[in-house]
Structure 1
Amino acid sequence: MTGSAGRILVAVLALLFAVLPVAAAPVAGAQPGAMPFLRIQIDTVTPDIVTTTSDQTVTVTGTVSNIGDRDVRDVVIRLERAEAVTASTELRTELTGNVDQYLPVADFITAAPELARGQEVPFRLAYPLRSDNGPSMRIDAPGVYPLMVNVNGTPDYGSPARLDDSRFLLPVLGVPPAEGSDGAGEAFESAVPPDTTRPVGLTMFWPLADRPRLAAGAPGGTTPVRLIDDELATSLAPGGRLDTMLAAVDFATGPEVDPDGSLARALCIAVDPDLLVTVNAMTNGYVVNDAADAGPTTPTHPGAGQQAAVTWLNRLKTLARRLCVAPTTYAQADLDALNRVADPGLSAIATTGAGPIVDQILGVPSFRGVTLVGDGPLTEPVVQLLAGQGPTVAIAAAELQGPGETGDGTPATADTAPVRYAPSVVAAPFDPAVGAALAGAGPTPESPSYVDPSLDIAVKQDSDTARRQVALGALLWRSLNPDTTPRTQILVPPLMWNLTAPDAQAVLTAVGTSIRAGLAIPRPLPVLIAEAGTTARESGPPAGALGNPRGRFDSGVVTGISAATGRLWGLTAALATDERTGLTGNGYTAPLREDLLRALSLSVPPDARNGLAQQRLTTVGRTVEDLFNAVTIVNPGGSYTLATERSPLPLALRNDLPVPIRVRLDIDAPPGMEVTDMGEIVLPPGFLPLKVPIEVHFTQRVAVDVALRTADGLPLGEPVRLSVHSNAYGKVLFVITLTGGVVLALLVGRRLWHRFRGQPDRADLEADPTRPDPIDVALAYTDDATDSGRAGRRARTAPGGRDA
């Protein structure tokens, strides 16, 4: 080997030794969350709710997928469980973080010797709840048990590690007979039924709501209605979200499934008035904006959901005749932000004004005296707003008793006892952990804004089945724990709940099962309202935080809504009813106020709320400005000439609104011009000519500024400057002219007096003696003219007396 070849070989070996340690080093972050390699998806849990009549074996199936950037070897999997949940907060905390509380049900089993990138492998884990022979879950009492499927593996260039897990809840209403039980008697004795001595009074709200879909900036009487998109047509059609939600509750409370009506008594439909207004408008035909962020002048295309809207609304009307119906706040408006807007009229529309809308469209009386706070927390500003709207029971998330762990080492829990925060405001709290679990069910899981950070967990990476199991376990937890107080429960899913048909069926089945098993009894909404009012303890203002900061509306949006609302109320006060169409001023401007409530909707995801609110506010602001500019003074473009001092000033007013409006003229007259106040003028749609009484005391051209205002002084349109020329005599000129006339009359009279008496006038004596007297000249001229006329007539007469 030559020297140069040896040097090359040494360099190559050095390079290999430099690279190999890096390539063979263990991958940092092999633990879950740092660098994803595997992902577990739970496909089925059978049975999803364990009862005394269920199969003794619980089966969990799913898939393990390689989502990393390298192959994974020795993929093993096992099922683990924790002890039954003893506090509602554990319904959240047991699903994230530390795994020390989980114990293996059995040893690891091999899912795949090697799993290449992009590959997936199914798994099936099946174990009895209890068994004396072999592995089991060791569950021998009812309760809600956290389960975890744990997967380990060795990524290429890494070491063995836990690479993912999927956690869910298994509600056990009763433990089935033990394996090997012989005969009915032995099986009966070995089964463990639940404790039904203290059933829970159960009330559940079933939401029917949607994001605001009506396009902003369209006043009343605008036809056809305009929507920002046509997603509502899909939602109302068979298989859509709102169709699924309606069909599920309709079927579950039907006489075939719920013959005694127990489930129906526990349920109350929470319906958004804005959704009903939109669907009702769609039944008459509608158009859709070609651009979602456009204004009222954007090109449109016909909507496709008219028939779906008719069908869905008729089904809801039928269901409302046999189920409780309660309105949400209008458009799910944020009451905290509304309190900052500080407009009592807008607050009343959102709260007490919601019920009459529901009554009118559905044709049934909805329940009053209850306010669904929705996604936001119950804060002191919300209580202040509700206190001004009359007696109400606020359905809101409860406060936690201590953050994290309390002083005695027990987990924190939610205080769901009724609380009176004001003489007219009682809170009937629901457990935020249960509400958050319900919000996680379905294909679009969300975390409500009222959830305390200690209970906020990532749920979107879990499968639909796992999230459904969490929801079922959470809603049944209080029923399975008879020592918890109070023995009442309110189930409040998110108003924008999006469930698949299996999800909705599973939830309603779980509620019905708890009632039929004696773990719960129906508590109708009127009973809830009455009990909350009589059992509530007195308390100071709620100490809860303001909720998720990302979802709070900023001050710019609130200030803009406050200003636009004030202008709208001012214009509405000036509008009257059109006798031809019956359209009222309030009805004409009501959709614009509703637009401002839609801008504050909690149905919009927190990160998008301020942007979409500002967009809608801008559109409404432009429309309001257009309404004020639609009432104007017609500018003549020339000048007026007044013939006399009392000639009226002609004007023409124009009203492009479809309703009459009460206006006043504001005329800035110069000195010397007096204008008669015409008072309040009712200006009908179209043109109205006017003659304004004035009195002018000068002769010149002047500028007169004329403006139009509402009866309360709000300016309308643009002011007009008129050029006015007066030929009228002023007072000074009148006196001078009158004096000159009197002097002239006296002088002429004196001259005639002296003439008739034959006396020379002093003026004649002082005149030029050679100058002829003007009176003599005038008399001579008259005589000459008479003689000339006679001669001319004689010359034109022919002989015989006939004219030539």
Structure 2
Amino acid sequence: MSGLRLRCARLLRLAAVIGIIAGLSMVLTLPATPRAKAGEPSSTPFVQIRIDRVTPEMVTTTSEPVVTVSGIVINIGDRPVRDVMVRLEHAPALTASDELRTSLDGGTDQYEAVADFLTVSPELQRGQQAGFTLSAPLRSSTKPSLDVEKPGIYPLLVNVNGTPDYGAPARLDNGRFLLPVVGVPPDKAAESEALDAVPPDTQKPVWMTMLWPLADRPRLAPGVPGGSIPVRLVDDELASSFASGGRLDVLLSAAELATSREVDPDGTVTRALCLAVDPDLLVTANAMSAGYVVSDSADPAGQLPGTPTHPGTGQAAAATWLNRLRTLAHRTCVAPLPYAQADLDALQRVNNPELRDAATVSPNDIIDRILEINSTRGVALLPDGPLTNRAVDLLSADGAMVAVAAAESMPEDTSGDEQISADITPRRVSPQVALAPFDPAIGAALSAAGSNPVVPTYLDSSLNVRIMHDSSTARRQDALGAILWRSLAPAAAPRTQILVPPATWNLQGDDAQLILTALATTIHSGLAVPRPLPALVADAAARTDPPRPPGRYPNVRGRFSDDITAVISSQMSRLGKLTAAMTTDHRTGLTGAQYTAPLREDMLRALSQSVPPDTRNGLAQQRTSVVGNTINDLFGAVTIVNPGGSYTLATEHSPLPLALHNGLSVPIRVKLQVDAPPGMTVTDLGVIELPPGYLPLRVPVEVNFTQRVAVDVTLKTPDGMPLGAPVRLSVHSNAYGKVLFAITLTAAAFLVFLAGRRLWHRFRGQPDRADLDRDPPPARRPKALGAGAAEDPPRPARLPTSARPPETRPVAARRVDEEHRV
């Protein structure tokens, strides 16, 4: 028993130990409170820093020698944060354009502190915020400073430290931005000795060209053919965009001010600036100025003609904005974007020459007609997508062309000390197309500026940064640094720069003015020389180096699927054949091409790069679906009127009556196809021009039978595309054909024979068989009787036939009496 008790005690102790170990393991496996080491960023967001102001935005020789940064720290976590502190840090000047992006994210080893931490708040509760202001001298020999000794682009960082509840002190967030230093100002108040100004090096100025975009995403409702008045828009956002303070008004106002005679008397900024205009925006604004309606439905499927609408409110604003643009266009360069900012790579996969010309050739004519100018020709602007092999093939079909597109990103040269930026040297990419590239890092910095930052699809993934994390002020500083970097880097080659913002740039008023001020500062300080876009195009087109095609599509993000391009290709084929059959309405002057032009433009709008990359395929599918339904309706609007009964043909040559209906706004050429049964011959009417409305027809036919048959009638275009729905007619013919004709001839010949025989017998005085039932005529008496001639015995008196009793008169006698009466 003692042994048994001992074993039980041991088992109990073992069970207790196992329970303790299990409890500890459960505690260890529970989610732990995030803890971050001091000096390292936390993976869990607790606070966020927002930089609201940097003074000065651009440092020049006339600026104050002190930089001031203001902002706020916001508690965005799920717990209080204690001892919130901030500190300003700096890094050396950038030496490669790729650092315009890479210095804004990733590691912080290159940054050095300017001063000690400044406590912002002893404690921040959830949702609370606290402001801060940090100042530091540009340079100093006796106290901490930013160590700015010469012009350049300097990265700055505001470090935020704190202690989250249940955590340890850690670096919780940081805000980074670029500080462009065009010239180092003097510091007369230096404690040891006065510091003189350091001007920029202007011995190697940069040839500068900047595109200023005026574009918007497609606003015209899909599936509405030409001639529809008033035009229909999907929304009324353009009304506020054209109005004072709107996005397009801000862009236009900034360009007007920068190129005015008061601000730019010598026209240097005007020569460097070129308006990149989307012809689709001009078409929309021009239509709005004549009055328009807005669809009540936000769903593209509910925006077809006939759906509810309400009047638009931007007619006056659109007319005013368009007139201001006409005035500006007469004193500066204007170049077209692809129509509706269509993706040329996807357009080449559609493989439709008519659509290609509408995207790359017609925009010049549209701009010239609406703005009453001569726009720059021979150039294709690609501000939002890469130049691919397919895009080059599409442009090559248009003849000599210069493409302004992003250069291919080049990897860092790890074998040397210097980094290699993107190659922006102009080159030829095909015998017909030359490339004038711009730096993708600089383009990405410009794309991030404004209230709606975007990451362009041409940007390599290695240059992506957290643009949504940075404030609009920080992103504006990055754009200013990108504009000035090449001018302030004398070693950067080549000494050319093309500034290409995104087409749908969304800038605030201050952003637009500061960016154009940076452009003017670069030129007026001698760091850059204006290079008009026509001169750039001419120089690139004159290159004779061997063609070097572009690389592959660098990013699948935003690529239109092959299903979308296949649908557009099919719809364009049908629409082209229908348009070829249309003619001009002489009453209104509307042509077939004008009538279907909005539907072709809808195909380009479906391929627009103005919408976010992640939503492109979905929006394209919706638009093509609506346009496809409209094309089906156009084909169904030209049809044969179904009589709903049967036709009876009196003779074998009776025509077949039909009625055609044209529900289009223009005449159309059609052909009738009649599937006649054997024994019926139909005369081909050839090509019929069918005007809008109804047209009665009489189709000549020849029938050789007497019966009821079904006749199928189809309406087609001259090249064989079916129109409307086929109609089956029930036709009854009374014609007997050749047999009836032979019987009729035989009867007529027999009647002629009988009549001729009677006349012959009467002429000869011979009785005819038809007169056998009549009494013979009385014999003729001689005029004088000779001697011995015996007289005929007297004949009994004959009563008149009418005096005889009816029952005693023979039938033959009654017939003779009737004939005599007649």
Same fold (TM over 0.5): yes
Residue 290 of structure 1 pairs with residue 323 of structure 2: no
Letter of the aligned partner of 1:90 in structure 2?
A: E
Aligned with 2:724 (options 709, 717, 736): 717
Question: Residue 390 of structure 1: CA displacement?
Answer: 1.9
Question: Residue 744 of structure 1: CA displacement?
Answer: 7.8
The range that moved more, 258-267 or 722-731, is 722-731
Residue 51 of structure 1 pairs with residue 60 of structure 2: yes
The aligned counterpart of 2:277 is 271
The aligned counterpart of 1:107 is 116
- Matches of 1:451 and 1:372 in 2, distance apart? 16
Letter of the aligned partner of 1:711 in structure 2?
A: P
Quickly say closer, same or farther: Cα 1:444–1:365, change in 2 above 3 A: same
1:771-803 CA-partner distances (Å, limit 9, x unpaired): xxxxx998544224368x69xxxxxxxxxxxxx
The aligned counterpart of 1:82 is 91
Aligned with 1:783 (options 807, 811, 816): 816
The aligned counterpart of 1:237 is 243
Quickly say closer, same or farther: Cα 1:496–1:66, change in 2 above 3 A: same
- Matches of 2:814 and 2:598 in 1, distance apart? 88
Does the residue aligned with 2:419 lie in a helix, a strand or coil?
coil
The aligned counterpart of 1:436 is 444
Aligned with 1:478 (options 482, 486, 496): 486
Structure 2 stretches of 5 or more lacking a match?
Answer: 1-20, 774-808
> Do the aligned residues in 2 keep the contact of 1:418 with 1:537 (CA within 8 Å)?
no
Residue correspondence of structure 1 range 483-502 to structure 2 within 5 A: 483-502=491-510
Question: Residue 654 of structure 1: CA displacement?
Answer: 1.3
- Matches of 2:25 and 2:656 in 1, distance apart? 100
Letter of the aligned partner of 2:219 in structure 1?
A: R
> Do the aligned residues in 2 keep the contact of 1:37 with 1:66 (CA within 8 Å)?
yes
- Matches of 2:811 and 2:571 in 1, distance apart? 83
The aligned counterpart of 1:568 is 575
Letter of the aligned partner of 1:420 in structure 2?
A: R
Letter of the aligned partner of 2:478 in structure 1?
A: V
> Do the aligned residues in 2 keep the contact of 1:241 with 1:498 (CA within 8 Å)?
yes
Aligned with 1:706 (options 709, 713, 723): 713
Aligned with 1:634 (options 630, 633, 641): 641
The aligned counterpart of 1:458 is 466
1:447-483 CA-partner distances (Å, limit 9, x unpaired): 0111100011110111111000000001110000111
The aligned counterpart of 1:356 is 365
The aligned counterpart of 1:197 is 203
The range that moved more, 108-117 or 352-361, is 108-117
Quickly say closer, same or farther: Cα 1:759–1:213, change in 2 above 3 A: closer
Question: Residue 556 of structure 1: CA displacement?
Answer: 1.9
The aligned counterpart of 1:318 is 327
Does the residue aligned with 2:609 lie in a helix, a strand or coil?
coil
> Do the aligned residues in 1 keep the contact of 2:333 with 2:533 (CA within 8 Å)?
yes
Aligned with 1:529 (options 533, 537, 540): 537
Residue 667 of structure 1 pairs with residue 674 of structure 2: yes
> Do the aligned residues in 2 keep the contact of 1:377 with 1:544 (CA within 8 Å)?
no
Residue correspondence of structure 1 range 346-425 to structure 2 within 5 A: 346-402=355-411, 404-408=412-416, 410-425=418-433
Does the residue aligned with 1:614 lie in a helix, a strand or coil?
helix
The aligned counterpart of 1:330 is 339
Quickly say closer, same or farther: Cα 1:389–1:779, change in 2 above 3 A: farther
Letter of the aligned partner of 1:530 in structure 2?
A: A
> Do the aligned residues in 1 keep the contact of 2:42 with 2:170 (CA within 8 Å)?
no
Letter of the aligned partner of 2:560 in structure 1?
A: F
Letter of the aligned partner of 2:702 in structure 1?
A: E
The aligned counterpart of 2:457 is 449
The aligned counterpart of 1:540 is 548
The range that moved more, 579-588 or 693-702, is 693-702
The aligned counterpart of 1:339 is 348
Quickly say closer, same or farther: Cα 1:530–1:749, change in 2 above 3 A: closer
Residue 510 of structure 1 pairs with residue 510 of structure 2: no
- Matches of 2:30 and 2:91 in 1, distance apart? 39
Question: Residue 749 of structure 1: CA displacement?
Answer: 8.1
> Do the aligned residues in 2 keep the contact of 1:286 with 1:302 (CA within 8 Å)?
yes
> Do the aligned residues in 2 keep the contact of 1:286 with 1:306 (CA within 8 Å)?
yes
The aligned counterpart of 1:206 is 212
> Do the aligned residues in 2 keep the contact of 1:289 with 1:299 (CA within 8 Å)?
yes
TM-score, length of structure 2 as denominator length: 0.88
Does the residue aligned with 1:551 lie in a helix, a strand or coil?
coil
Letter of the aligned partner of 1:477 in structure 2?
A: W
Does the residue aligned with 2:429 lie in a helix, a strand or coil?
strand
Aligned with 1:583 (options 574, 580, 590): 590
Question: Residue 125 of structure 1: CA displacement?
Answer: 1.1
Structure 1 stretches of 5 or more lacking a match?
Answer: 1-13, 765-775, 791-804
The aligned counterpart of 2:803 is none
1:461-506 CA-partner distances (Å, limit 9, x unpaired): 1111100000000111000011111110000000000000110011
> Do the aligned residues in 2 keep the contact of 1:64 with 1:122 (CA within 8 Å)?
yes
1:28-60 CA-partner distances (Å, limit 9, x unpaired): 467546211111111111111111111111111
Quickly say closer, same or farther: Cα 1:144–1:728, change in 2 above 3 A: same
- Matches of 2:460 and 2:812 in 1, distance apart? 119
> Do the aligned residues in 2 keep the contact of 1:24 with 1:157 (CA within 8 Å)?
no
Alignment length, in residue pairs?
A: 760
- Matches of 1:391 and 1:20 in 2, distance apart? 73
- Matches of 1:361 and 1:589 in 2, distance apart? 20
The aligned counterpart of 1:594 is 601
TM-score, length of structure 1 as denominator length: 0.90
> Do the aligned residues in 2 keep the contact of 1:201 with 1:522 (CA within 8 Å)?
yes
- Matches of 2:210 and 2:761 in 1, distance apart? 119
> Do the aligned residues in 2 keep the contact of 1:400 with 1:412 (CA within 8 Å)?
no
Aligned with 2:318 (options 309, 313, 318): 309
> Do the aligned residues in 2 keep the contact of 1:417 with 1:536 (CA within 8 Å)?
no
Structure number with greater Rg is 2
- Matches of 2:28 and 2:662 in 1, distance apart? 85
- Matches of 2:548 and 2:811 in 1, distance apart? 111
Letter of the aligned partner of 1:300 in structure 2?
A: T
Identity %: 61
Residue correspondence of structure 1 range 695-774 to structure 2 within 5 A: 695-739=702-746
1:96-143 CA-partner distances (Å, limit 9, x unpaired): 111111111222222222222222111111111110111111110111
Does the residue aligned with 2:422 lie in a helix, a strand or coil?
coil
Question: Residue 409 of structure 1: CA displacement?
Answer: 5.4
Question: Residue 739 of structure 1: CA displacement?
Answer: 4.6
> Do the aligned residues in 2 keep the contact of 1:396 with 1:429 (CA within 8 Å)?
yes
Question: Residue 550 of structure 1: CA displacement?
Answer: 3.1
Quickly say closer, same or farther: Cα 1:24–1:223, change in 2 above 3 A: closer
The aligned counterpart of 1:260 is 266
Letter of the aligned partner of 2:653 in structure 1?
A: R
Question: Residue 76 of structure 1: CA displacement?
Answer: 1.8
- Matches of 1:55 and 1:536 in 2, distance apart? 50
Residue 138 of structure 1 pairs with residue 177 of structure 2: no
Question: Residue 722 of structure 1: CA displacement?
Answer: 1.4
The aligned counterpart of 2:133 is 124
Letter of the aligned partner of 2:475 in structure 1?
A: R
- Matches of 2:655 and 2:342 in 1, distance apart? 53
Question: Residue 24 of structure 1: CA displacement?
Answer: 12
Question: Residue 407 of structure 1: CA displacement?
Answer: 4.2
Residue correspondence of structure 1 range 116-195 to structure 2 within 5 A: 116-180=125-189, 190-195=196-201
> Do the aligned residues in 2 keep the contact of 1:406 with 1:412 (CA within 8 Å)?
no
- Matches of 2:811 and 2:619 in 1, distance apart? 95
Letter of the aligned partner of 2:76 in structure 1?
A: I
Letter of the aligned partner of 2:471 in structure 1?
A: S
Letter of the aligned partner of 2:467 in structure 1?
A: V
Letter of the aligned partner of 2:818 in structure 1?
A: A
The aligned counterpart of 1:691 is 698
- Matches of 1:448 and 1:536 in 2, distance apart? 30
> Do the aligned residues in 2 keep the contact of 1:207 with 1:497 (CA within 8 Å)?
yes
Root mean square deviation of aligned Cα: 2.8
